[in-house]
Structure 1
C-alpha cells in the first residue's frame, strides 16, 4: 500500500489517516506499507515512518545521494525507493549513482509541473537497454490495457500504479484494479 505524504498532492493522506489504516490491516507484516515523500525534511520522514509503522519510503523529489544515505543511516530496516522522472537517457545514466544508498529504483514519466500520478506514459523504448544495479519498478500511465506491453517491453521487477486505476485522483476504481490483475494472470 502506498500512502502519499506530500501535502501538494490530491492523494495526500495525513499521518493520522495512514496510522489508522495500517492499524486496521489484518496482517500488516505481510503488506508493504510505503510512504511517498517529495523533498521532505529528514526528520519528518523518520517521524512519519515511526508513527505510521511504515516499512518502506519512496523518495519522489530531487533528493540527493547524500540525503538518501543519511536517511538510510536513520532508517536501516526500512526499504528505500528512489524515484526518477525520466526525460532521456541522461536521467537513466544518473540512476546507478544511488545504488549504494537505496534498495530499489522507480522510473516514472517526466512532467514539468507534477511529481507523479500524471497518467503520462514513460517512453518504454528508452528502458530496453536499462540494466540497473538494483531492482526497479516501472510507473507512469500504467493501466489494464497497457500493463502487459509495459512489462514485456521494459522488463521491470515490478510496477507502481496510481492514476491508471483511479476514477479521479485518490479514488481507486476497484473494477480497474481487478481488470489489471486479470491481465497479469499467467504472465
Structure 2
C-alpha cells in the first residue's frame, strides 16, 4: 500500500514524511493555500533521497508548462487535478496520476487516459483538491482497476482503515488530514502512514 503526502511546503515536512515511510511527496503548483513555486519545490527535492518519488499537482495547466516543471526539477509524476482531456495526458513526458471527483467519475471513460494511477477525490469545492472533505465510498459504481486506484478526500488516521477496507486501493493520498492549524504535523504524518502500511500488509 503506497502513501502520498501532498501539499508539502517545507524541507522539514518533506523529510519527516520520508522518514515515516511516505512513497510520494506531492507539491501543489496550482492555486491553493498549499501552492509552492518551482524554486521552493526544487530546494526541497534537492534534500530528499532518491528512493522517494515526487509529484507535481496541476489544474488545467498547459502541457508545455507541466513538461517544463517536470524537466526542470525532476518530477517523477504529474498529477492532473482539473478537467484535462486524454489528449493532454498523452502529451506529457512523465508518469501520470489523473484525478477525478467522485461525483463525476462515473460519467468518464477512464480507460482513455494513459495514466499510471486513477485518483478518486471528493467533489470539487473551493480548490480542486485538499479541501478535507470526504465522499461516500460506496457511491463509486464504475469498476476501477485496483492496481491503479488511489483515493483521497478527507482521509485521516481515524477513517483511512475503513476507506482501504471498502475500496482496496493501491495507494492513498492525504494532505489536510495530517495537518494541525494548516501546517503539516509530524505526529499525524507518522500515525497515518503507520496505519496505512499496516492495512496494506493485511490486504496481502
TM-score (norm 2): 0.79
Aligned counterpart in structure 2 of residue 3 of structure 1, from 27, 38, 53 = 27
Judging changes above 3 Å, is the alpha-carbon distance between structure 1 residues 98 and 134 closer, same or farther for their aligned structure 2 residues? farther
Distance (Å, rounded) in 2 between the aligned partners of 1:14 and 1:45: 13
Gaps spanning 5+ residues in structure 1: where? none
Kindly indicate whether the alpha-carbon contact (under 8 Å) linking 2:81 and 2:100 is maintained by their aligned counterparts in 1: yes
Cα RMSD, aligned residues only: 1.8
Map 1:145-184 → 2, pairs under 5 A: 145-169=158-182, 171-184=183-196
Higher relative contact order (CA 8 A, sep 6+): 2
Residues 82 and 104, structure 1, Cα contact 8 Å, conserved in 2? yes
User: Given the alignment of the two structures, is residue 58 of structure 1 paired with residue 74 of structure 2, yes or no?
Assistant: no
| Distance in 2 (alpha carbons) for counterparts of 1:94 and 1:132 | 14
Q: Residues 43, 55 of structure 1: CA spacing in aligned structure 2 closer, same or farther, 3 A cutoff?
A: same
**1:4 to partner: Cα distance:** 0.4
Q: Deviations over 1:82-139 (max 9, x none)?
A: 000111xx5234142434x222110000034320001110210123763338611000
Question: Which sections of structure 2, spanning at least 5 residues, go unmatched?
Answer: 1-24, 200-204
Q: 1:17 to 1:185 in 2, by over 3 A?
A: closer
Q: Deviations over 1:54-92 (max 9, x none)?
A: 111000011011111122xxx0xx2101000111xx523
Q: 1:126, 1:52 → 2: CA distance?
A: 38
1:34-183 alignment runs, 5 A limit:
34-71=55-92, 75=93, 78-87=94-103, 91-99=105-113, 101-127=114-140, 130-132=143-145, 135-169=148-182, 171-183=183-195
Distance in 1, matches of 2:198 and 2:119, equals: 24
Cα pair 1:109 1:120 within 8 Å, conserved: yes
Take 1:157 and 1:127, find their aligned partners in 2: how far apart are those partners? 16
